[in-house]
Structures are given as C-alpha cells and as structure tokens.
Amino acid sequence: MPSPRPTELSPALDAVYRDALLRNPGETEFHQAVLEVLETLGPVFAERAELADARILERVLEPERQVMFRVPWTDDTGAVQVNRGFRVEFNSALGPFKGGLRFHPSVNLGIIKFLGFEQVFKNALTGLSIGGGKGGSDFDPKGRSDAEVMRFCQSFMTELHRHLGEHTDVPAGDIGVGGREIGFLFGQYRRITNRWEAGVLTGKGLGWGGSQARTEATGYGNVLFTAEMLKTRGEDLDGRQVVVSGSGNVAIYSVEKAQQLGANVVAVSDSAGYVVDDKGIDLALLQQVKEVDRGRISDYADRRGSAARYIEGGSVWDVPCDVALPSATQNELDGDAARTLVRNGVIAVSEGANMPTTHEGIEVLREAGVAFGPGKAANAGGVATSGLEMAQNAARESWTFARAEDRLTEIMQDIHTACFETAERYGAPGDYVLGANISGFERVADAMLAQGVI
C-alpha cells in the first residue's frame, strides 16, 4: 500500500501554483494537471536547491510556444465552416516537441495545455529523445464524409505546417485523429513543403512509413504496465475480471492485450452507455462495430444477442471487477465511482486515457491500497512507439510486429521500474503517481539545467 503523501503544498510550491492559476485563468484541466504534479515534487525541491534557484518549475509550467489559428473549410453542401486550431509546444529540452492532435468539440486551449503538460513528463519517462507538446481543433469528424474531413485537414495543415518538422515538432493522432486524418494531414504537408519528410508525423500507414504495433501500442502498454504493478504484489491478470471504459482505439487494444494475458474483459462503454458481456467481450465483433461500421456500443449488444446487455447512461464503473482501465477521456472516474470500485473489490486501476481519474478519485483509490497507474506512465506506450516510428523513419527501415512489440514491452517495463524505484527512493513505496511525476520531472529538469536559461 502506498505510504501517506501530504496533499498540502510547501509555501514555495504553493506560490508557484497560485501564480499558475493567475496566469492561466479559466483553464480548469490545466490547473488540475499542475496541482497533481506539484503535490508530489516537495521531496525533490527539499533536496535540490539548484532547481528553485534556476526557476526550473516556473519555466516548465510555461509553454515554449502556443499557436492558435482559424481553420476555414467548406462542407459537402458548399457552406463555409470555421473551426479553431491549436498547437502548444510545451518543452523541447529532451528532443523535438512530440504529442498528438485531438479533433473533438470539447477542445479548447486549457485542454490542449493540460495534455501538453502531461506529455512532457510522459515522454521523458519513455527514455527516448522527445519533448512534449499537444494540439488539435474543436472540429468534430463524427458524421462527416471523407471529403469533408480531407478539406478540413488540408486547411488545418496549411497553417500548422510552418511550425512542424522532424527536428522541431512531430504530431501524432489522438481522439478523433486516426489513420485517415493522419494521411490527409501528411499529404497536405508534403504538398506544401515539397518534401517527403516521413518523420514529421507518426501514426502513418504501414505502407508509407508507419510502424508495426503503433495502433495497438497505447492499449497494449497500459495492460503491460498493469501487469507489472500486479507482479510487485505477487498477482497477475490471469482469470481477472476487467472493465474498460471507452470503445475507441485505446480501449479495443486494452481488451485485446488483457485477453491475451488471460483476463476476462466484461464491459466496455461509449458516451451513450455501456455494455456488459459476462462471457467476455467478443473482440472481433467490437472491432467490426467500432472500427469498420463506426457504430455505437449499443450496436454491439444488439448483434451479440442474449450474451450481452446494454445499459443506457449510468456508469461502467458500477460493473464489479478486479481491474479497471479508464480509457475514454479526462475526469471520467470520480470519487463516487472510485468508492464503488473499491466496494466491489477492485485491486488495480490503470489509466489508458489522459487524466481520466479526478483528484478525489485518486485519493480514494490510494487510501484503499489499490494499485494505481497514472496515465503519464501507464499510457506512454503510444508515444513510445511513435518514437520508435521516428527511429525507423530516420534509418529508412521497417521493423516486424514482433520486434516493435518486444521493444514496447521493454519500454513499459523500464517505465514501471523507474516509477517504482523513484517512489521507493523518496520514501513513498507503491506510490506510482509520485514516482512517475518525479522521475519524469528530474529528467527534464536536468536537461534544462545543462542547457542554460533558454
């Protein structure tokens, strides 16, 4: 069980937090992400005065560059539509900015900043030479034709391209941005720049510079991290009941890897409700419904028959399980949901999405002794494999699936070891939140110290 961790900030860290609130008004998700990190950094600053003297934390909290731009495009009726585009290039001390693009109506500057801030530490944990950034738009690809998505992506890249480059900033996909969108974005980048610069985007198609296992990497990596946490407690996933929120890319491949390790995944969800399948989720049917037909999770229940039941609305966390994998979106698992999971006997929760568990939810799980894998560590498999894609592009080579998956497994094991050992070193054994934050922060901070005040 994790050791108690004080939730009050030291006067110096509290001053930094209050300044961040004043400088970034209204950005709730960013405030939440900053607080979650600052709560764990007290032991580091108590030991390393040079970090405060160089104002490393204040510099880490301020993005190196923030870009906002208009994205005009025409729909299939010829009507002009206008969206807003974002790219927050947060920190490049360890390498080029790296992080996904999210296309969703909820996207605003605060959400992009929280995602970019998390990405800095996540990328540092991979051990690869990549910095942190994030981008996206309030454009909603759902219900849009391929032609409409293409025109939007071309307009979006027409502005964004001037800020990108394989040695500068390398976006990837996120919610709403899959292989189709990456293809359109890459095509427009190539058209404008007159360069075949494969390393400027990751998540590409396998036939033109993509990496094996990239599609599976975030979900696979989260389950691998979960398995490592359980191993420290003498447990494993074999025979465990697992619930996964969401039914997109991360959720689908979390289901696949959990099943490969012997777990019984009994529930998945989408924004309208969730489905419970006591016999275990039929992965092939789930992929057909979500990846091919682009349907709703209710369609899975209709086609599965009596083996599954669909519950409209409600919370997927009401389903009893041993392991919970929140893999949908931020703040989906709150204090009440965490208490329900604990009452139902959950032993591990690991975040496939970015910051899906609220501050209260994390504290409930910690106090109950539940193994908790924070997203910046547990879902780093996606960006890690993006880094591997960049390496393959630079070498003009292509790896087999087995080689890419083996390397992903090694990276996730190394991330777990770094988090586990850092928590032990700072007197908080089993606290993966503290271990992940400090391990990632120290790597970034040391690079910043070495490179001077820039």
Residue 209 zone, left/alpha/beta (φ > 0; ψ -120 to 50; rest)? left
298 is in an annotated binding site: no
Q: Is 226 annotated as a binding residue?
A: no
Return the DSSP state at 357. B
Q: How far is CA 400 from CA 4, 99, 143, 213, 223, in A?
A: 44, 24, 35, 9, 21
**DSSP-derived pairing of the beta strands 348-350 and 323-325:** parallel
| C-alpha closest to that of 233 among 392, 62, 380, 373 | 373
Rounded to an integer, what distance in angstroms lies between the CA atom of residue 225 and that of residue 235? 13
Q: Consult the annotation and say whether 98 binds a ligand.
A: yes
Active-site residue flag, 134: yes
Beta strand pairing status for 97-103 and 241-244? unpaired
Residues 265, 274: Cα–Cα separation, whole Å:
13
Query: What is the residue whose two structure tokens read 């996904």?
Result: 100
Q: Which of 315, 314, 290 is nearest to 301 (CA)?
A: 290
**Does 249 appear as a known binding residue?**
yes
List the catalytic residue out of 113, 134, 257, 290: 134
218 is in an annotated binding site: yes
Q: Are 254 and 226 in contact (CB under 8 A)?
A: no
- What's the CA gap between 356 and 345, in Å, rounded? 20
Residue 108, marked binder: no
* 315 belongs to an annotated ligand binding site: no
- Segments of 351-445 assigned E as strands: 371-373
Binding-site annotation: residue ranges: 98, 119, 122, 173, 218, 249, 386
Binding-site annotation: residue ranges for substrate: 98, 119, 122, 173, 386
Binding-site annotation: residue ranges for NAD(+): 218, 249
Catalytic residue numbers, as ranges: 134
